[in-house]
Chain A
Amino acid sequence: MEYLVTIGLEVHAQIRTQSKMFCGCSAEVANAAPNTHVCPTCMGLPGALPYINRRAVELAALTGLALNCRIEHNNVISRKNYFYPDLPSSYQRSQFDDPLCVAGWVEIAGEDGTRRIGLTRVHIEEDTGKLNHQADGSSLVDFNRAGVPLMEIVSEPDLTSPDEARRYFQKLQQLLRWIGVNTGNMEEGALRCDANVSVRPVGQKEYGAKVEIKNMNSFRAVERALTYEIQRQKAALDAGETIRQSTRGWDEARSVTVEQRLKEGSEDYRYFPEPDIPPLRLSDEWIAARQAELPELPAARSARFIAAYGLSATDAEVLTADRADSEYFEQAVAAAQAQGVGARDVAIWVTGELFRLTKETGESLGDIHDRFKPAYVGEVIALLANGTITRTSAKEVFEASFRDGSAPAQVVHARGLAVIGGGDALAGLAREAIANNPKSVADYKSGKVVAIKFLVGQVMKASKGQANPQAAQAALEEELGRV
């Protein structure tokens, strides 16, 4: 039977703030010793109260704007009630009825153009602590993570394939990093993803039973888990079984999803407005201030690179995958243009030589910015273009400058890489080559013009590669004319 696949993603992203969502504890908890970033509030001690981290709200709203959402003026924090040992107050502060951001979308590139994926909402909430299971079967709780600010980004069920789901998630990661609200680090759990997936026969109007998949810790895992789950559901339907609404976990090692629990209707979290936090009323001015804080986004920047610099769509996309990369590129272009070097040449060198080197060192362009300054890219290209150095030398200069941060001109000077561009030195080498290779000269004179290539090679050899081949040929032609 033919089936339609419906996928929606719920992405949890840690909001990059210095302190936690509802207390002053540091939110930098990734490598901290257990229970060292805690206080009465995030430990849920009797009598402790929350006070909201305004920066977290600002950054979540910034995210909403980047995702084309509407920012709601009235915001309510709610209590989501359930018992679990990693949840200090036995309720999680989250948003229910009145999320911060609603009705957005992101565009992802597909084989047949771009696709717009709808976003239901972006809301703010606090993270829970972490259980560390011990060998003896007991569990220890680390509350460092409890209260760390999160955004939950909920897509519409607009995704139709595992590949599309992965690309959507990657797009979110790119955007969140771009605007600086999230590290995008999935290993540290700063970015996490759950998927809802259902399958139904073509022609059936209502959605199939929704299965939630958890524990996917990489883009690859998202794609593989969804692929597996869709196949599983299709096979079950083909066999006449019914799919039950449930939660399943992705088992990376075995490459299967495993049922964790059945859902009888929706769970009853008894949400109600958090009485300890007055509703947040966000003014138009406040929202306008967030809008003003929003940087140029990758799609706009990519379009601008194509229009302003004549880049190919591919180069423009590569150069806007990361914000620091794109900024490095623009600075390199500005410096290069001042020396008469075009943006497209800069793009070629950045996407080619520079990305090869950073890939090797594991650095980003942001990391190398202060060492291999953006202006150096244009300087190398200019030295090549004006014939000061050869293409071979240009790569050597580029790499040397990249490694230790020396200015390209200095590298050329220090290594004696300047091309022997003409004049007496080159004429002398040409005369020498003519004197030492009478057969080639005779061939040339008898009309085998191609014989000059051998002589050019001899000049290049004698110059230890420093001669410009065109200049060498010109010098040879001149000297041969006198023979």
Chain B
Amino acid sequence: MAELYELTITEARRRLDAGDITSVQLTEAVLERIAAVDSQVRAYLAISDDLAMRQARAADARRRAGNATGPLDGIPLAIKDVINVQGLTTTCGSKIIENFVPPYDSTAVARLKDAGAVLLGKTNCDEFAMGSSTERSAFFVTHNPWDLERVPGGSSGGSAAAVAAGAALGALGTDTGGSIRQPASLCGVTGLKPTYGRVSRYGLVAFGSSLDQIGPFAWTAQDCALILGAIAGADPHDSTAAPQPVPDYVAGLNGDVRGLRVGVPKEYFVEGLEAGVEAAVRDALELLRANGAEIVDVSLPHTKYALPVYYIIAPAEASANLARYDGVRYGVKQAGDSYWDELERTRGSGFGAEVRRRIMLGTYALSAGYYDAYYKRAQQVRTLIRRDFEQAFAQVDILAAPTSPTVAFKIGEKTDDPLAMYLEDVCTLPINLAGMPGLVVPCGFSAGLPVGLQLIGRPFDEGTLLRAGDAYQRLTDWHTRRPALTAST
């Protein structure tokens, strides 16, 4: 029998409902697992065991009284450290606000709390979510549970690794250019970037405001459906959170892909795509075809512009979003002779190299005389990229593609080469630019390391994505594989 920390959310919930286990037992099992393995994985920046145990006891009390709040009641989850939980430090993986304790909950976390979830702690990430390996955390590197010498991907590497390591049953991450999907792929778990506007960004520390989305990690598409159902929907605190109704995602999981038209964009089978990754993805497509899906070749001709467009728009927005870290109201302030001197010292020493690089890129792109050539032009091309998707979705229901060109790479392998690191997201960031939802499900291994299949959907049609992902997981067992982590002694 599986250990409690290895359960899916769906299975844990079944056992909780049946009275076989309590949330306290489940939470204790996960906290013990964290104690046993996290010194190797280092998924967590902070563990909120007091809060978690309080919430677990409250969940058990609700269940005993017949007042369980829903499918997440009593389920232990982890939160990426760019998402505010009232009273817990939000560092964003950065020195500059390593002491910032938010006085308010993000909407996503408030909704998880309302749903009864148990919050285990805050997970590591690249500084301000800028990175694809979690090596850019100002605090420490997170290790891939499948191979501790390799990265878990990023920027939500802590959340992905926590789930993969059995150190959480599910987690929230954020995805600006692939930061949920790429680490899900590299860690062999399921991850969903919802449609832009599906989940409120209130309380998510902004990186690229027009691109950021909060989304779930878990073992299965079904579990992701449970979490998404809890956190999605309009929010008066976020004008970009869409008013579209939130369907019952789990109810839509019928295991059926017959007649589903799956587009395969040729541009995503890029130069540099590892053979083992391509093979796993092609096998997955073949399996879908064998089970009744229709596989269609499509073209997204502006894909090649996505990377440069992304690296103008995201840094431009970031340059403004990160300007508030001046040490005046919160965060770490360096003393100086004047406001301006303090500002330079605070920001010069508080931000890491990658964050400074992007602030400079973005500042440049918005500068007078360059705005039209860079930012404005990038927005125009972004429209063309979005149109590519709209045209493709006139022919097909979903798109399927690789997530990352590679499997997990060695720690330190790409840190000196920002462009190589940026290419990690070449298959994911067009989806952010277009605002579409993307789901990653484990679809095999290459050289012993997990590979993820990326499914891309129409705006606000996470339902179809989750149905396809769930159907695929009914046909495969990749999502049931667990890394052979042994507890450190």
Interface residues of A, Cβ cutoff 8 Å to B: 40, 43-52, 79, 81, 83, 85, 88-91, 139, 141, 266, 268, 270-272, 275-278
- Contact assessment for B324 and A270 in the assembled complex, using a CB-CB cutoff below 8 Å: no
Q: Which residue of B lies closest to A40 (CB)?
A: B104
A79 vs B375: C-alpha distance when bound (angstroms) = 14
- Contact assessment for A91 and B323 in the assembled complex, using a CB-CB cutoff below 8 Å: yes
B316 touches which of A266, A268, A272, A278 (Cβ 8 Å): A272
The listed residue with most B CB atoms (<10 A of its CB), out of A50, A139, A270, is: A270
Within 8 Å of chain A (Cβ to Cβ): is B236?
yes
The listed residue with most B CB atoms (<10 A of its CB), out of A89, A139, A266, is: A89
- Chain B residues, Cβ within 8 Å of A88: 324, 329
| A330 to B: closest C-beta gap in Å | 42
- Contact assessment for A89 and B202 in the assembled complex, using a CB-CB cutoff below 8 Å: no
Q: Which residue of A lies closest to B328 (CB)?
A: A85
| Interface hits, B70-103 → A, CB 8 Å | 83-84, 90, 92, 97, 100, 102-103
Within 8 Å of chain A (Cβ to Cβ): is B368?
yes
Q: Which residue of B lies closest to A84 (CB)?
A: B339
- Chain B residues, Cβ within 8 Å of A276: 206, 209, 238-240
Query: Given A40-B103, A272-B366, A90 and B202 touching (CB < 8 A)?
Result: no
5 A-B residue pairs with CB within 8 Å: A81-B319, A81-B366, A88-B329, A139-B339, A276-B240
Query: Given A47-B203, A272-B371, A141 and B239 touching (CB < 8 A)?
Result: no
- Chain A residues, Cβ within 8 Å of B100: 46
- Chain A residues, Cβ within 8 Å of B320: 79, 81, 89-91, 270, 272
Interface size class of B (residues with CB under 8 A): 35 or more
The listed residue with most B CB atoms (<10 A of its CB), out of A46, A81, A270, is: A46
Excluding A45-B329, A47-B102, A89-B324, 17 further A-B contacts by CB distance (< 8 Å) are A43-B329, A45-B104, A46-B97, A47-B83, A47-B90, A47-B204, A48-B202, A49-B238, A81-B319, A83-B343, A85-B326, A88-B329, A89-B323, A90-B326, A270-B366, A275-B208, A276-B240
Query: Given A49-B201, A90-B326, A275 and B209 touching (CB < 8 A)?
Result: yes
| A57 to B: closest C-beta gap in Å | 13
The listed residue with most A CB atoms (<10 A of its CB), out of B92, B104, B240, B323, is: B323
- Chain B residues, Cβ within 8 Å of A141: 328-329
B330 touches which of A45, A83, A270 (Cβ 8 Å): A45
Residues 355-373 of chain B, each 1 if its beta carbon lies under 8 Å from chain A, else 0: 0000000010011100100
- Contact assessment for B363 and A270 in the assembled complex, using a CB-CB cutoff below 8 Å: yes
| A482 to B: closest C-beta gap in Å | 92
- Chain A residues, Cβ within 8 Å of B316: 272
The listed residue with most A CB atoms (<10 A of its CB), out of B201, B205, B320, is: B320
A447 vs B319: C-alpha distance when bound (angstroms) = 103
- Contact assessment for A81 and B329 in the assembled complex, using a CB-CB cutoff below 8 Å: no
| B153 to A: closest C-beta gap in Å | 23
A88 vs B237: C-alpha distance when bound (angstroms) = 18
A470 vs B328: C-alpha distance when bound (angstroms) = 81
- Chain B residues, Cβ within 8 Å of A91: 320, 323
- Chain A residues, Cβ within 8 Å of B238: 49, 51, 276
| A300 to B: closest C-beta gap in Å | 38
A43 vs B330: C-alpha distance when bound (angstroms) = 10
Within 8 Å of chain A (Cβ to Cβ): is B25?
no
Q: Which 5 pairs of residues, A with B, have the shortest CB-CB distance?
A: A90-B323, A270-B366, A275-B209, A275-B210, A46-B205
| B435 to A: closest C-beta gap in Å | 12
- Contact assessment for A51 and B237 in the assembled complex, using a CB-CB cutoff below 8 Å: yes
Interface residues of B, Cβ cutoff 8 Å to A: 83-84, 90, 92, 97, 100, 102-104, 106, 201-206, 208-210, 236-240, 316-317, 319-320, 323-324, 326, 328-330, 339-340, 343, 363, 366-368, 371, 375
Q: Which residue of B lies closest to A280 (CB)?
A: B239
Q: Which residue of B lies closest to A268 (CB)?
A: B368
Q: Which residue of A lies closest to B321 (CB)?
A: A89
A83 vs B320: C-alpha distance when bound (angstroms) = 10
- Chain A residues, Cβ within 8 Å of B375: 272
| B197 to A: closest C-beta gap in Å | 9
- Contact assessment for A278 and B239 in the assembled complex, using a CB-CB cutoff below 8 Å: yes
- Chain A residues, Cβ within 8 Å of B371: 270, 272
A32 vs B172: C-alpha distance when bound (angstroms) = 40
B323 touches which of A47, A81, A85, A275 (Cβ 8 Å): A81
Q: Which residue of B lies closest to A52 (CB)?
A: B239
- Contact assessment for B236 and A51 in the assembled complex, using a CB-CB cutoff below 8 Å: yes
A268 touches which of B92, B209, B210, B367 (Cβ 8 Å): B367
A49 vs B201: C-alpha distance when bound (angstroms) = 8
- Chain A residues, Cβ within 8 Å of B323: 81, 83, 89-91
| A145 to B: closest C-beta gap in Å | 15
- Chain B residues, Cβ within 8 Å of A85: 326, 328, 339
Q: Which residue of A lies closest to B364 (CB)?
A: A270
- Chain B residues, Cβ within 8 Å of A45: 102-104, 329-330
B368 touches which of A48, A50, A266 (Cβ 8 Å): A266
| A406 to B: closest C-beta gap in Å | 52
A51 vs B107: C-alpha distance when bound (angstroms) = 14
- Chain B residues, Cβ within 8 Å of A49: 201-202, 237-240
Q: Which residue of B lies closest to A276 (CB)?
A: B209
- Chain A residues, Cβ within 8 Å of B97: 46
| A299 to B: closest C-beta gap in Å | 38
